[in-house]
Chain A
Amino acid sequence: MAAEILSDQDLLRRMAAGDEEAFVTLYRRWSGCVYRFARQMSGSTSIAEDVTQDVFLALIREAERFDADRGSFPAYLYGMTRNLVRRAIERASSFVTMQDGDGALDQVEAGDLFAEMERAETVARVRRAILALPVHYREVVILCDLHGMSYAEAAAALGCAVGTIRSRLNRARALLSERLGSSTSAPVETKRCYA
């Protein structure tokens, strides 16, 4: 059977028996997510590389540690990545102190925001705004809004309640909106403008 169509769990089982193709398949399936999550969390390419390497080395050494009865593989993988990236951030905290004194970033008009959406500068601004969030807010925004996880999946990955995810996410989004300056002057997509 082609490795590409196997489930994560089957790939892990094969990996544990020394199947290199299974490892490569699992790596290609998930390394992008792990790498991006680590990079988005840390703002550092080198941390992202180190964390990605450590995550997959851990899988090589202890593939059998994953227990499907305790949660999904993505939750397990993201949970492991999150722990490693948090440690890395603590060791190299300078990577995430990109905000200015009061936490406010460049202000931008919402209209401009739409216009600039495709531009790298805007992306960089959003990235900086995310990096300026406290870690526990940052990770929920990245998991749910950038990686498309459901609240339940994010709760499993971070080991907390769904309600915690929801409340952190609300707070994180409010902070982001504030910092991106889009909370005060955005146009509305309604038939009537607010008058």
Chain B
Amino acid sequence: MLRLRCKKFASSVHDLVRNRPADAERFEAALAHAAECAECARRLASAQALALALHGLAVEDERDGVPEELERDLVIAFRQHFASKERVAIGSLPARARSLRYAWLLAVCALFVTGLLIAYRQSGSNRSQSVQDERAARAERHELRASGSPAIESVVPEKAVSKKGSLNVVRKGVRRGESLRQRRERAPGRRAIDGDSIAGEIATEFIPLVPPELLPFESGQIVRVELPRAALVSLGWPINAERSGEWVRADVVIGADGLARAVRFVR
């Protein structure tokens, strides 16, 4: 049988009591020592009394339930948390599908912006081409007004069209280089760049290419590009198959960091 000295006994008496079921041999040794040593007998009794008192408190507290309304409130908080997460996400696509879509659109836009900038620099500003474009645009606008239904609708997702279901008629007054924040402040309650375009053109609202919370925008430029309609198909947007060979014009918002933030389609 183990013999315990008083000092060791004093330092381990609580553990002896606590571990009594698991370490019966050591506890027997403690009892044997306590039987011969009054001081350690008192220590043992004290430890047992304390263990019992603490056990009583633990049992008493076990009866205390957590207030039921706490669970109810937390479940509401849980639902709100995940509801707000869904609101933040654009569209109903899963996160990975969305990011792929943005990546595709960014890549396509970047490609065309780069191509256009190079072509523009090589050829300089070609006035006669601009006049031709303007004539074509005017003819298209005339056709659009005559038909009464904007053909561009087939290209743009429904969400991109203004709430009334019609396309926005935009006016002159582009302030290039103005930050989105400044624009928001200038026109509170309106979408950041909504309403900025060239006279007489019809444009959709700007469609964000990346969630603003992921890539903040402070300043940048709007660049006019042309995209093949087929490129939009690859992004998952519906088009008229007969017109897949045609090109569409778009304004792309490029941040100071060179990354595209938003796009709108123009006729």
Assembled-state Cα–Cα distance A146/B54 (Å): 6
Q: A18-B82, A20-B79 are in contact. Are A60 and B53 (CB under 8 A)?
A: no
Chain B residues in 8 Å Cβ range of A148: 58
| Given contacts A32-B65, A39-B61, A60-B81, A190 and B50 within 8 Å (CB-CB) | no
Within the assembled complex, what's the spacing in Å between the Cα atoms of A31 and B74?
Answer: 11
- Interface stretch (choices B30-38, B129-137, B150-158): B30-38
Contact B57 A24 (CB under 8 A): no
Complex: A122 Cα to B39 Cα, angstroms: 25
Stretch at the interface among A5-13, A67-75, A76-84, A112-120: A112-120
Check: B146 CB closer than 8 A to any chain A CB.
no
Q: Would you call A89 an interface residue if the criterion is a C-beta within 8 Å of the partner chain's C-beta atoms? A: no
Given contacts A57-B74, A122-B53, A126-B53, contact A188 B82 (CB under 8 A): no
Q: Are B57 and A182 touching (Cβ within 8 A)? A: no
Say yes or no: A52-B42 contact (C-beta < 8 A), given A20-B75, A40-B61. Answer: no
Complex Cα distance, B78 from A118, in Å, reads 40
Contact B50 A176 (CB under 8 A): yes
Give A176's nearest chain B residue, CB to CB.
B50
B159-182 residues at the A interface, CB under 8 angstroms: none
Bits for B39-62, please: 1 = Cβ < 8 Å to A, else 0: 101111111111111101110111
By size class, the interface of chain B is 35 or more
Q: A94 CA to B77 CA in the complex, in Å?
A: 30
**Known A31-B70, A60-B74; contact A186-B52, beta-carbon cutoff 8 A:** no
Residue from A40, A186, A192 whose CB has the most chain B CB atoms within 10 Å: A186
Chain B interface (Cβ within 8 Å of chain A)? 11, 14, 18, 31, 34-39, 41-54, 56-58, 60-62, 64-67, 70-71, 73-75, 77-79, 81-82, 85
**Residues on A facing B (Cβ under 8 Å):** 15, 18, 20, 23-24, 27-28, 31-32, 35-36, 39-40, 49, 52-53, 56-57, 60-61, 110, 113-114, 117-118, 120, 122-123, 126-127, 130, 141, 145-148, 169-170, 173, 176-177, 180, 182-195
